[in-house]
Amino acid sequence: MQHLSKVKYSKFIWPIVIGLIIWLLTPFKPAGIPVNGWHMLAIFVATIIGCITQPLPIGATALLGMTVTVLLGIVDIDTATAGFGNSTVWMIGMAYFLSRGFIKTGFGRRVALVFIRLFGKRTLGLAYSLIGVDLVTAPATPSNTARSGGIVYPIIDSLAHTYGSKPDDATRRKIGSFLVFSEFHGDIITSGMFMTAMAPNLVAATLAKSLGVHISWMTWFMAGVVPGLISLIVVPC
């Protein structure tokens, strides 16, 4: 059974002290910054420091910072919670849940083993198999770190050791390095092929929309699929 994290009260000291110092420097703020803006800066800096010292888990620290902002009247509750109504944010959240499910249920591993069984008779086939797993899971995994590190890397590590390639000696040049570099470059390519393959893609789409340019998931995919597939074919060769 997983227990809740205990509050580490001593680690509140630095966020509170630095936040108060910035707050008390309000009379010396630049003329172009409104008072509310300066107070927002104080809470923002305190929240960032809180995320570093972690008196609470990072998520709870961020929510605490938002709560303090509302309680002090710097912004109203509608403004503070406006981001939760953003469809892009929920799309990222949904995709993160799916990616976590891939890892927890072993679905990503099973997909990888199927690819390896079909195409992994040669070293080049193994590289294409790993890239294929990345390609299949990319649309529902908005974190290339989770995708490559949580799903694909454990397979690479197992394969490398099976073939006698270890990272801490000269045998790493046998097959391990080749598979790691192939997956590294393949992961970068798949991250650009799908709007939901990496969180910054969704942020970029939102910024484009604010400038009057609407990019749908399919529009992004159609623009990236041809150069992406060509690159994925060329990379391991």
Contact 98, 140 (CB under 8 A): yes
**Domain span holding position 206:** 87-234
My answer on whether 92 and 172 are in the same domain is yes
My answer on whether 78 and 101 are in the same domain is no
Burial of 224 (0-12, 13-18, 19+ CB in 10 A): buried
Q: Position of tokens 């400038």? A: 211
Q: Position of tokens 């001593």? A: 10
My answer on whether 112 and 218 are in the same domain is yes
My answer on whether 108 and 46 are in the same domain is no
User: In total, how many domains does the chain have?
Assistant: 2
Give which of 54, 86, 82, 47 is closest to 68, Cα–Cα. 47
Domain boundary, last residue among 60, 84, 108:
84
My answer on whether 115 and 225 are in the same domain is yes
Domain presence at residue 2: no
Distance from C-alpha of 132 to C-alpha of 138, rounded to nearest angstrom: 10
Instruction: Tell me what pLDDT residue 39 has.
Output: 93
Instruction: Tell me what pLDDT residue 23 has.
Output: 93
My answer on whether 152 and 54 are in the same domain is no
Instruction: Tell me what pLDDT residue 1 has.
Output: 46
Instruction: Tell me what pLDDT residue 230 has.
Output: 95
Domain presence at residue 76: yes
Domain presence at residue 3: no
The model's pTM: 0.62
Distance from C-alpha of 168 to C-alpha of 147, rounded to nearest angstrom: 24
Instruction: Tell me what pLDDT residue 91 has.
Output: 67
My answer on whether 184 and 212 are in the same domain is yes
Q: Position of tokens 């300066």? A: 38
My answer on whether 74 and 94 are in the same domain is no
Instruction: List, in sequence order, the alpha helices (H) in the chain.
Output: 13-24, 35-53, 58-71, 77-80, 87-105, 107-119, 123-137, 144-145, 153-162, 176-193, 199-210, 217-234
Distance from C-alpha of 50 to C-alpha of 61, rounded to nearest angstrom: 6
Between the CA of residue 220 and those of 30, 199, 224, what are the distances in Å?
A: 42, 14, 6
My answer on whether 96 and 212 are in the same domain is yes
Per-residue pLDDT of the chain (237 residues; tens, 9 = 90+): 455 667 888 889 999 999 999 999 999 888 888 998 999 999 999 999 999 998 888 888 988 999 999 999 888 888 888 777 766 667 667 766 776 777 677 776 777 777 778 777 788 888 888 898 889 888 887 778 778 877 788 888 877 877 788 877 777 777 888 888 999 999 999 999 999 888 888 888 888 988 999 999 899 999 999 999 999 999 887
Tokens of 1: 């059974």
Distance from C-alpha of 199 to C-alpha of 96, rounded to nearest angstrom: 9
My answer on whether 146 and 201 are in the same domain is yes
My answer on whether 94 and 181 are in the same domain is yes
Domain presence at residue 223: yes
Contact 191, 197 (CB under 8 A): yes
